[in-house]
Every structure is written in C-alpha cells, then in structure tokens.
Structure 1
C-alpha cells in the first residue's frame, strides 16, 4: 500500500486556514496575559496568511 498525496480543493484549503485562524484567536483571547506575545504573534501571522490569500471574506 502507498500513500498518495491529493491536491486539496481551494475551498477546503481556505476553510482550513480560517479554522486555524479562529483557533489561534481563541487561544490568544482565552489565555489573556498568561499567553505573552507568542499567541498574539501566531494569530497575527495566520491573519496575514489569510488576508494575503485568495480566500473569500
């Protein structure tokens, strides 16, 4: 048996990035001051990825 990589449909890829962004935002908000800058930096990084993409809205 062999694994074969399959391309991910653009819509599913956008949904995946948006889900990662939402989860990062939740971690950052829930952690509050305990999170330090790491969670905020990760949220900002993912936000930039989504904003620079062709993903709608």
Structure 2
C-alpha cells in the first residue's frame, strides 16, 4: 500500500466532507468505501477500520 493513498482518494472523491475536524477520515466514509469501492480501495478501507479497533 502506498502511504496516503486512501487519504488522497477520499480527498478527491468526498472533499472536506470526508474528514472530521481533527483531520481523520470519517467512519461513515470508510464503511461506504468498504462496500462501494474498487478492490484496492476496499482493502485499504477495511484495513483502516480494523486498525482503528487495534488501537483501542
């Protein structure tokens, strides 16, 4: 995975609406990409959601 690939994709597709005030990608956006995105984007979104769980 390229560093920042998912962030750049969200910025291009959703603009500022895809991010929280803190600058992280919104959970709703990640869940939507997990279902609707291309296979590579789906994999990145799934990884991001899982990594969030590991941090807790």
Shared fold, TM over 0.5:
no
For CA contacts below 8 A with separation 6 or more, give which structure has more relative contact order: 1
Q: Normalized per residue, which structure has more helix? A: 1
TM-score (normalised: structure 1) = 0.39
TM-score (normalised: structure 2) = 0.40
Greater radius of gyration (CA): 1
